[in-house]
Structure 1
Amino acid sequence: MDLIGTDLMNRQRLNMQTIHNGPTLDTDSRPLLDHNFSATEIKEALWSIDDNKAPGLDGFNSKFYKAAWPIISQDVITIIQGFLATGKLLKSWNNTAIIFIPKVSYPSKPVHIQTHLYKTKASLGKDYQPHTTCFVAGRLISHNILLCQDIVKHYSRKGCYSSCLIKVDLRKVYDTKDWSFLHDMLIALNFPLHFIRIIMVCINSTHYSIMLNGSPSKTIKPKRGLRQGGMEYLFHTLMRTSSHEDFKFHPRCRKLRLNHLSFTDLMFFCKGTSNLFSCSVKVSNPSLPLQIAQEVLLPLGSLPFPYSIPLNFKRISAADCDVLVDNMTSRIRSWYAKNLSYAARVQLVTSILMSISSYCCELFIFPKTVIKKVNLICRFYLSHASDNNPSPGNIGWKHICCLKKGGGLGVRNLETWNLVAVGKLAWHV
């Protein structure tokens, strides 16, 4: 509640000189943001929303609006055009329900549900092109991590050029964004005042309700934070940065024209020089990293650091995997009070404990000591409902890892799974 329900105090003001050095909205483009949308454009925006999108609190999804369009079309068009002309928005339009939907056995992220009238309004003016998507056909998310690891591992070499890497937590960037900062930025970038008013009404009218047992809770009124819908603009901005005359590519990235990667965090690469775009990690001048970090107002980091897995220029060690072992141990300790049967513990080991390590298994070969620790933790919990009980169990671990049709319990053999998962990467080469 404190994260989104309080104003950001003592916010640093904009540096207008820096903003004016970059691109701003030109005079010819300003009228395009103030033009009235026609009935055809509003209909196209509604039809661009998938029929299977979750309905809002009113229970209506886009399929309902499409089916009833001959009856309700005039009312919908009048309401949307009226908002765009006056900037007045009904409170019920921007009411978002936060709910856990069990798409998987153990959901870990909430789903935000909005009314489809608001979604239709938000879709106006969008130009969906193949290059705007964040997903690339034929690639895996893990490829970003492997590529970043391949870049970082050269930092330990003597002949490595001055290199720079900036890591940005995207969740914090969006969740802590102050609304007054957005308002000041839109004005500084020369956006029309009426357009700014519409944007700020959409943001300021946001309120949330948490669905508990099918009933909405008391309304939560946020004071800051943005929905993560502007990723395409961020990535296009980063791509334009690579065309700047002062920008210099990170070593080994010029041919690919690679300057950023995005997964849970945003990774930005460039050459380690003292200019606006750099925050150095590996440079020849010892005093330069601190100088660059102060210039871009970012703390100076060090390797290794987490990016789904620990990124390091050295080989992954057992100490780098301690976080994985600690996660499994803490999960077991949360189950102590449940007094589960042996069959229930088998299910938890196969579906939860092994799944914690499954993602890392696809990225690198585990050290032998880590595989041994993970197997011991699973064996201790399966046999004794504990995370540290060295007494032997009734069944050997090798027999437990056999298939059920072979007399085992179907628990995954971590060492074999690790080799197979990493070997699968060869199919994508």
Structure 2
Amino acid sequence: MEYLSRIMLKVSSYPSYKFHDWCASLKLNHLCFADDILLFSHGDFISILWMLRGLKLFSKTSGLFPNEAKSAIYCSGMCESEIERVVSASGFTQSSLPFRYLGIPICSKRISNAECGIILDKMVARIKQWSSRNLSYSARATLINAVLLSIHSYWAQIMVLPKKLLKDIDAICRAFLWKGDEEAHGPLSVLQNLQEG
């Protein structure tokens, strides 16, 4: 990855190469994590071609090739003919945002409440596993802090979560703490309605 980073640094120094608009001030054209890489550039064909040549040089030198089945190109604000040209030159398929990386949706705008629904689904699935057991209040509190809130924390480290989602997480955790399941009902619901009213 160090070698690939040096190649991409060299690519970014060419006068005809243009950075992606959001990455220009940082002079950022790639991010690496383990054996995954994200490449960024302006949408003009020359800049993309320089990056593809850098990637090809890396592959020929190292013997490591991108997995075409797991690689994709994401374009924004480009005309269809340019996109077709890029797809043809790269051999990768075109896809659309958001895409998932390490379980997190990656998108160019603020994440919506609907896209965060997976957090609630994961929490509810965990609670359903535990609900059949006769857990004490302190055991439920420990599970909330150790498991449920770690799911929330993982996402919150990466992006700003919508306020509605945070309220839903709070409601799920409270329901599990007091009732032992994921749904607020009975006296808890009445209490919530009084607080909101």
Alignment of 1:318 with 2:88, yes or no, is: no
Measured in 1, the distance between the counterparts of 2:135 and 2:18 equals 58
In the other structure, the counterpart of 2:139 is: 344
Q: Distance in 2 between matches of 1:339 and 1:256?
A: 53
Structure showing the higher helix proportion among its residues? 2
User: Alpha-carbon deviation of 1:327?
Assistant: 1.6
In structure 1, what is the equivalent of residue 40 of structure 2?
269
Match of 1:378 in 2: 173
SS at match of 1:320: coil
Distance verdict in 2 for CA 1:337–1:248, change over 3 Å: same
Query: Greater RCO between the two (CA within 8 Å, min separation 6)?
Result: 1
TM-score, normalised to structure 2, is: 0.68
Query: Which deviates the most, 343-352 or 304-313?
Result: 304-313
Change (3 A) 1:247 1:340: same
Aligned residue runs from structure 1 range 203-242, under 5 A: 231-242=1-12
Post-superposition CA distance 1:285-339 (Å, at most 9, x none): 1232233123212221212233564333433321121111112112222324443
Per the TM alignment, residue 344 of structure 1 is displaced from its structure 2 partner at its CA by: 0.8
Partners of 2:74 and 2:158 lie apart in 1 by: 26
- SS for the counterpart of 1:315 is coil
The percentage of aligned residue pairs carrying the same residue is 36
Q: What is the count of residue pairs matched by the alignment?
A: 166
Is 1:304 matched up with 2:98?
Answer: yes
Following the alignment from structure 1 to structure 2, what is the Cα–Cα distance between the partners of residues 253 and 372?
33
Q: How far does the alpha carbon of each residue in 1:196-228 deviate from its partner, in whole angstroms, 9 at most, with x for none?
A: xxxxxxxxxxxxxxxxxxxxxxxxxxxxxxxxx
Q: CA deviation at 1:236?
A: 2.4
C-alpha separation between the residues in 2 aligned to 1:296 and 1:262?
A: 19
Separation of aligned partners in 1, 2:134 and 2:6: 53
- How far, CA to CA, are the matches of 2:33 and 2:187 in structure 1? 42
Distance 1:280 1:358 in 2: 28
CA gap of 1:253–1:313, structure 2 versus 1, over 3 A, is closer
Distance 1:260 1:339, change over 3 A: same
Q: Structure 1 stretches of 5 or more lacking a match?
A: 1-230, 398-429
**Unaligned 5+ residue runs, structure 2?**
53-72, 193-197
- Contact kept, 8 Å, 1:318 with 1:367, in 2: the verdict is yes
**Which is higher, the Rg of structure 1 or of structure 2?**
1
Amino acid of the residue matched to residue 293 of structure 1? V
SS at the partner of 1:248? Answer: coil
Separation in 1 of the partners of 2:141 and 2:22?
47
| Partner residue in 2 for 1:388 | 183
- Secondary structure at the aligned position of 2:80 is classed as coil
Specify whether residues 305 and 392 from structure 1 end up closer, same or farther in structure 2 by C-alpha distance, changes over 3 A only.
farther
Task: Compute the TM-score of the two structures, normalised by the length of structure 1.
Answer: 0.34
The CA RMSD measured in Å over matched residues stands at 2.9
Counterpart residue identity of residue 281, structure 1: C
- Counterpart secondary structure, 1:306: strand
The CA deviation at 1:365 is: 4.0
Q: What is the CA distance between 1:245 and its match in structure 2? A: 6.0
